[in-house]
Amino acid sequence: MKPILKVENVYKNFGSKIVLKNVSFELYPSDILGIIGPNGAGKSTLLYILLNIITPTSGKIFYFGKDFFKNRSEILKKVSFASQYVSLPYSLTVEENLKVFANLYEIKKADKKITELLDLFRLKDKKKVLTRALSSGEMMRLNLVRAFLNDPLILLLDEPTAGLDPEYVKYISELLKYLSKDKQLAIILTSHQLGELEKIINKALLIKNGITLAYGTLTELFKKFKVNSLEELYFKILT
Amino acid sequence: MKLSFKRIWGIILRHLYLLKHSFSRWIDLLYWPTVDLLLWGFITIYLQKDFYPEGKWVFQFIGALIFWNILIRAQQGLAVGFLEDIWARNLLHLFVSPLTITEYLLGLFIFSLFKAFIASLLMAIIATFAFNFKIWLQGIDIFLMVFNLIFFAWSIGLLTMAFILFFGQEAEILAWALALFFLPFSAVFYPVDVLPKFFQYIAQFVPTSYIFETMRKVLLEGEVSYVLILKAYFLTIIYFFISVVIFILSFNFAKKTGKFTKIGE
């Protein structure tokens, strides 16, 4: 099987500060990769490079076998992103925000799709509500609805469960796991909630100061470092 | 890759929705042009009636006001539209979608045209009823001049956006201030030859100075100077091209330095 995302020796520096040093990994359909590291490790920078929001100093990125930097617009039709730290315009209603993005992703039958997704993420009754009236948890779920508008093949999530009630953390985690299996969706996510992360990821990339300290499937990593949980792995490698 | 009209429409829709929900934005769009026109219109009538009965000041001032408002609305429609996405921290979401920078700019250009059209239509209607000044009866050449003003407004708007990307949100004041920098040299309300010599020299390089000179000729003498209009277009095309290049360089700089992800925080 060919990888749907191949990252080769991505290097990034801001002036004299090296943020990422030759990061490489591969992602296959249904993979869920956790990018794990302390604050300032370079996790968000890596996600933004994978979205062409930050330009890498060097390195190559291939989505679906195509060079990302030569086929950005075409590739981003099937890649999505959601973050706890990026909001949607507050002055628009939930429905209006989603209609704008449905146009940006050229979604056909957008109204039907929006209704289905609002139902799936339990936001159906918020359709006509101004976005500013949403709680932080509802805002994150709206971000996820937006991210699923284009039926992505790869989903990038920055702290997707931060600020959510435990009930929703469980619901979102199970939903992501289900979609990954059922729709062959590949997911890359960052999170500090190691317990929740361990339940859904099958691969991990551990980075510190921009340097990859470990990468592989959870089974391989647990065996290699002789640990029984992601938390143990974190403390053994990253502290 | 081909331009997507649906994505361009997405950008226009985002700003139309914003306008729909915002009373203050409607006030900004309709109130200031109305106040400007009524205030300067009546002052001019008073001056003409009591001091210079032979002059044709009213039409000249009203025409200048309408033209200047078209430029300001088109420039702010672009620059403030960009700022709206920064304030809403929405820029990042927009550019992780397949939206290209060309589509984004085209969306903002069209929306700024819409704003300029609404403001100028309102002013034209008020000018007709309050001062018996019918701008659409001044000939087809008026549109030649208006298009030039809009292109120059976009050049200023693009430059403002480039400064915001390069220097950060501190530069947002330029969205309101940069166009005003050109006001004295544009000879909006007076002929270029009343300016001091050094200002006249600068005015040679400001395309709007040729447009406002032509407008005065049309309104006062009924003559159109195509040479002046050509000069204005020549300069505007150069400025528009330079602004696009500077904007793209700043956009890439913001992506390279990581400023793009921090802007609006």
Report the phi/psi class of residue A42: left, alpha or beta, with left for phi > 0 and alpha for psi in -120 to 50: left
Residue-wise pLDDT tens digits, B6-16 = 999 999 999 99
Indicate the domain borders of chain B.
25-262
Shortest CA gap B171–chain A (Å): 21
Which segments within A37-158 are labelled E, that is strand? 58-63, 66-67, 79-83, 154-158
Predicted local confidence at residue B7, as pLDDT: 97
Residue of A103, A114, A149, A158 best to disrupt the B interface, most CBs of B under 10 A: A103
Q: What is the least distance, in Å, from the CA of A170 to any CA of chain B?
A: 26
Flag whether pLDDT at B133 surpasses 90.
Answer: no
- DSSP per residue over A27-68, as a string? E-TT-EEEEE--TTSSHHHHHHHHTTSS--SEEEEEETTEET
Note whether B21 contacts A52, CB cutoff 8 Å.
no
pLDDT at residue B264 is higher than 80: no
User: Distance from B264 to chain A by nearest Cα, in Å?
Assistant: 10
Helix-helix angle B207-221:B141-167, to 10 degrees: 150
Q: How far is A219 from chain B (nearest CA, A)?
A: 33
- pLDDT given for residue B55 in this prediction: 67
Task: Please give the mean pLDDT across all residues of chain B.
Answer: 91
Looking at residue A159, its pLDDT comes to 86
Selection from A197, A103, A92, A58 nearest residue B21 by Cα: A92
Spatial separation of the C-alpha atoms in residues B49 and A183, rounded to whole Å: 78
DSSP letter, residue B177: H
Give the single-character DSSP code of B223: -
A233: distance to nearest CA of chain B, Å? 30
pLDDT at residue B132 above 70? yes
Shortest CA distance from B22: residue in chain A: A91
Nearest to A53 among B6, B90, B260 (CB): B260
DSSP-assigned beta bridge partners for residue A60: A8
Residues of A whose CB is below 8 A from B88:
87-91
The whole-angstrom distance between A104's CA and the closest CA on chain B is 4
Nearest to A86 among B7, B93, B256 (CB): B93
Buried b (16+ CB within 10 A) or exposed e, A141-157: bbbbbbbbbbebbbbbb
- What number of residues does chain B have? 265
End-to-end C-alpha distance for chain A, whole angstroms: 35
Measure the CA–CA gap between A212 and A222, rounded to whole angstroms: 16
Residue of chain B with shortest Cα separation from A58:
B256
- Residue pLDDT, tens place only, B164-200: 999 988 888 988 888 889 999 999 989 999 999 999 9
What is the tens place of the pLDDT at every residue in B69-108? 999 999 999 999 999 999 988 899 999 999 999 999 999 9
Of B84, B97, B256, the CB nearest to A76: B97
Chain A residue whose CA is closest to B257: A14
Residue among B84, B96, B256 minimizing CB distance to A81: B96
Of B2, B83, B87, B96, which to mutate for an interface test with A (greatest number of A Cβ within 10 Å)?
Answer: B96
Domains, chain A, in order of start with CATH, read 1-75+192-239 (3.40.50.300)
CA neighbor of A32 nearest in space, from A168, A238, A199: A199
**Under 8 Å between Cβ of B81 and B164:** no
* Cβ atoms of A158 and A47 closer than 8 Å: yes
What's residue A207's pLDDT? 94
Instruction: Compute the distance between CA of residue B204 and CA of residue B185 in angstroms, rounded to an integer.
Output: 9
| Long-range pairs for B14-17: beta carbons < 8 A, 24 or more residues apart | B14/A89, B14/A92, B14/A100, B14/B90, B14/B107, B15/B81, B15/B84, B15/B107, B15/B108, B15/B111, B16/B111, B17/A91, B17/A92, B17/A93, B17/A96, B17/A100
- Quick one: average pLDDT of B217-223? 84
pLDDT score at B1: 62
> CA nearest A83 in B: which residue?
B93
Residues B205 and A24: their CA atoms lie apart, in Å, by 52
**What pLDDT shows up at residue B52?**
74
> What is the residue-level pLDDT of chain A in tens, covering all 239 positions?
889 999 999 999 999 999 999 999 999 999 999 999 998 899 999 999 999 999 999 999 999 999 999 999 999 999 999 988 788 999 999 999 999 999 999 999 999 999 999 999 999 999 999 999 998 888 888 999 999 999 999 999 998 887 778 888 888 888 899 989 988 999 999 988 888 899 999 999 999 999 999 999 999 999 999 999 999 999 998 87
Answer positive or negative: Cα dihedral of A100, A103, A109, A113.
negative
Residue B126: count of CB within 10 angstroms of its CB: 18
Residues of B in contact with A53 (CB under 8 A): 92, 95-96, 255, 260-261
Q: How far is the C-alpha of A50 from the C-alpha of A56, rounded, in Å?
A: 9
pLDDT at B176: 87
Task: For residue A92, list chain B residues with Cβ-Cβ distance below 8 A.
Answer: 14, 17-18, 21
